């Protein structure tokens, strides 16, 4: 169950982050439900990594200047981290 939910949240992030947009209400609800659920210790570590990506995206993205080179670097970095988490999930 955790694996499927985590992959769903990561797929939402993969759609939103490259577009440098905001989450819609349905996506926010899905994230909140996922973030609020209790999980095992190993699953919680993965959940924390996903939360860290989400926080970094909102904190570092320059919404006023879409073509900011730092935005491109941030998006590339976050997408790479999402791929790393997906690899971790395959091992569960």
Residue 78 neighbours by CB under 8 Å, 6+ apart: 13, 17, 53, 56, 57
Q: 6-65: per-residue pLDDT in tens?
A: 999 999 999 999 998 889 999 999 999 999 999 999 999 999 999 999 999 999 988 788
User: For position 66, what pLDDT does the model report?
Assistant: 79
Residue 63 neighbours by CB under 8 Å, 6+ apart: 20
Is the pLDDT at 76 greater than 90? The verdict is yes
Kindly indicate the confidence band of residue 67, based on its pLDDT and cuts at 50, 70 and 90: confident
Instruction: Provide the residue ranges of all domains of the chain, joining segments of one domain with +.
Output: 2-90
- Under 8 Å between Cβ of 2 and 39: yes
Q: What is the pTM of this model?
A: 0.91
User: For position 92, what pLDDT does the model report?
Assistant: 84
Alpha carbons 61 and 82: distance in angstroms, whole number = 17
């Amino acid at each position: 169950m955790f694996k499927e939910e985590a992959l769903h949240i990561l797929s939402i992030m993969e759609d939103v982050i490259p577009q440098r947009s905001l989450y819609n209400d349905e996506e926010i609800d899905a994230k909140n439900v996922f973030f609020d659920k209790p999980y095992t210790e190993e699953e919680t570590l993965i959940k924390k990594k996903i939360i860290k990506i989400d926080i970094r995206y909102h904190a570092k993205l320059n919404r006023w200047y879409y073509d900011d080179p730092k935005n491109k670097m941030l998006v590339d970095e976050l997408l790479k981290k999402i791929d790393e988490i997906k690899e971790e999930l395959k091992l569960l």
